[in-house]
Chains A and B, each alone.
Chain A
Amino acid sequence: MNPGNGGWVIGLSLLAALVLGVFHLPEWAPAWLGWLRPNWLLLVLFFWAIELPHRVGLIAVWILGLLVDVLYAEPLGLNGFVLASVTYVAWRFFERLRMYSVLQQALLVFVLALSAEFLRVFAIGLASERAWGWSVLTSPLVTMCLWPFLFLLLLRIRTGIRVE
């Protein structure tokens, strides 16, 4: 089995998550839709970290986090920390997590996304007067609801292209 197979799929899915993350709605869309923006990157990264823990390195994830910080205009290092923590949790428990049902995984995703969101609000609040609203809660909820779909989609891609 070639251990380096399909690295581009991982890269491409992460890039897609980045693009979805900065995608903005057309002008005619109602503004409250912005509250429902899921944490795409967390979902995709969590999937690869429990499916292929040997392919996701903490340093690489940290660097990816730096890119995200600049993309989202957030304090440098914030997303690196968040994503690296998510990866670490997935690494630590990946055998157990694979045994969980998709719904149990979704619950864990919710907890992770919620803590990530709180950490973000806290770190941003230290530096600026940016207010925070219900999106702290709604965004992780949407992230949780998306997990089953994204999980099945990525699993199909993974088995189809044989990413190892």
Chain B
Amino acid sequence: MIESSTRVLDPVRGFISSVVSPVYLLAESPYLLSGAIGDVVATQDQLLVRNQQLERQILELSQISQQYVALKSENDRLRGLLGSQGRLPYDVLIAELVGIIPDTNTFQIIIDKGSNAGVKPGLAVLDAQGLFGQVIEVGRFTSRVLLVNDPDHAVPVRVNRNGVRGIAGGTGEVDALVLENVSVTADIVEGDLLETSGLGGRFPPGYPVGTVVSVVVEATSAYAQVLLRPTAALDRSRHVLVVFGPNQQQDPAAQQEQTPPREQLSDQQQYQSQEPTP
């Protein structure tokens, strides 16, 4: 019980988790192996089809990113007019899922990057579609991530359409989040997209969290019951991104030369720039 209220034992846990992380790898090996075999024995036709799909996807994405550059510069100009700070792109680190905590009542996963790659407790984790969770424990080579749908998890969000703020809590169901303490008069309708608001400083702002699937207003309650479907594929994604958010940004010297998108920095560079935090 010392553990839940203080962080005294964190180094102990971190050390033990470095020792036991191979167990996760062993348990995961059937999946890794079947994936590897699948890669080796894929027929040429399959590879060709896959290649075509990927090329098409690259084309679409590069089209979008062209627009993104224009929109970004416009946004920066407008923000400059308003006198507010421009947004920096964040550093990300690609990690792979190597284990799942075997308890039906909690949603936590193990990823294959730890303190040796600069991961720290509290960092946000994304997958290709949206917010995935946050790092809660770091070992040398692995870290543990609490998913957004865990009952113990909550994240400050805002409605993408009009900026109404709220807090999205986990429910323990894989496909549902709940927006907590929403007043019945709040302007939230079915289909709204909720993104991280960045309030509290733990999660970087602007990443999608979930879409509203139902808004139930009961006459007897002062609060509306708003259910969300998480945008991230919480039970399927194997590759996730660890985001170094606003508080974990690199040192100022590195920030000034931030012309290349941070995603293109190699792990090596990220690791170096993470180290000299004062």
Cβ contacts B203-238/A at 8 Å (1 or 0 each): 000000000000000000000000000000001100
Asked whether any CB of chain A lies closer than 8 Å to the CB of B63, the reply is no
Which of B4, B19, B100 contacts A126 (CB under 8 A)?
A: B4
A interface bracket (residues with beta carbon within 8 Å of B): 20 to 34
User: Given A128-B4, A130-B106, is A72 in contact with B101 using a C-beta cutoff of 8 Å?
Assistant: yes
A21, A23, A72: which has the most chain B beta carbons within 10 Å?
A23
- Tell whether, in the assembled complex, residue B27 and residue A23 are in contact, meaning their CB atoms are under 8 Å apart: yes
The distance in angstroms between the C-alpha atoms of A55 and B174, with both chains bound, is 43
Asked whether any CB of chain A lies closer than 8 Å to the CB of B172, the reply is yes
The distance in angstroms between the C-alpha atoms of A129 and B235, with both chains bound, is 21
B interface bracket (residues with beta carbon within 8 Å of A): 20 to 34
Asked whether any CB of chain A lies closer than 8 Å to the CB of B59, the reply is no
Asked whether any CB of chain A lies closer than 8 Å to the CB of B133, the reply is no
- Tell whether, in the assembled complex, residue B151 and residue A131 are in contact, meaning their CB atoms are under 8 Å apart: yes
The distance in angstroms between the C-alpha atoms of A18 and B27, with both chains bound, is 9
Asked whether any CB of chain B lies closer than 8 Å to the CB of A97, the reply is no
Asked whether any CB of chain B lies closer than 8 Å to the CB of A24, the reply is yes
Cβ contacts B21-33/A at 8 Å (1 or 0 each): 0011011000100
Question: How far does the Cβ of B121 sit from chain A's closest Cβ, in whole Å?
Answer: 13
- Tell whether, in the assembled complex, residue A34 and residue B20 are in contact, meaning their CB atoms are under 8 Å apart: no
Which of B1, B23, B105, B172 contacts A18 (CB under 8 A)?
A: B23
Cβ contacts B142-154/A at 8 Å (1 or 0 each): 0010000001100
**Chain B residues in 8 Å Cβ range of A73:** 101, 103, 106, 108, 137, 144
Which of A15, A67, A135 contacts B104 (CB under 8 A)?
A: A135
Asked whether any CB of chain A lies closer than 8 Å to the CB of B102, the reply is yes
Nearest chain B residue, comparing its CB with the CB of A134: B104
Cβ contacts A1-22/B at 8 Å (1 or 0 each): 0000000000000010011111
**Chain A residues in 8 Å Cβ range of B9:** 76
**Chain B residues in 8 Å Cβ range of A126:** 1, 4
Asked whether any CB of chain A lies closer than 8 Å to the CB of B12, the reply is yes
**Chain A residues in 8 Å Cβ range of B13:** 70, 76
Which of A19, A67, A135 contacts B105 (CB under 8 A)?
A: A135
User: Given A24-B100, A37-B102, is A76 in contact with B3 using a C-beta cutoff of 8 Å?
Assistant: yes
Cβ contacts A22-58/B at 8 Å (1 or 0 each): 1110110001001101000000000000000000000
Q: Name 30 A/B residue pairs within 8 A (Cβ), A-sorted.
A: A19-B23, A19-B27, A22-B23, A22-B24, A22-B27, A22-B100, A24-B99, A24-B100, A31-B104, A31-B174, A34-B104, A37-B102, A70-B16, A70-B17, A70-B20, A71-B20, A72-B101, A72-B103, A73-B106, A73-B137, A75-B1, A76-B9, A126-B1, A128-B4, A128-B151, A130-B103, A130-B106, A132-B105, A133-B105, A135-B104
Top 4 closest pairs, chain A to chain B, by CB: A127-B4, A24-B100, A23-B27, A70-B16
Residues of A at the B interface (CB closer than 8 Å) are 15, 18-24, 26-27, 31, 34-35, 37, 66-67, 69-73, 75-76, 126-133, 135
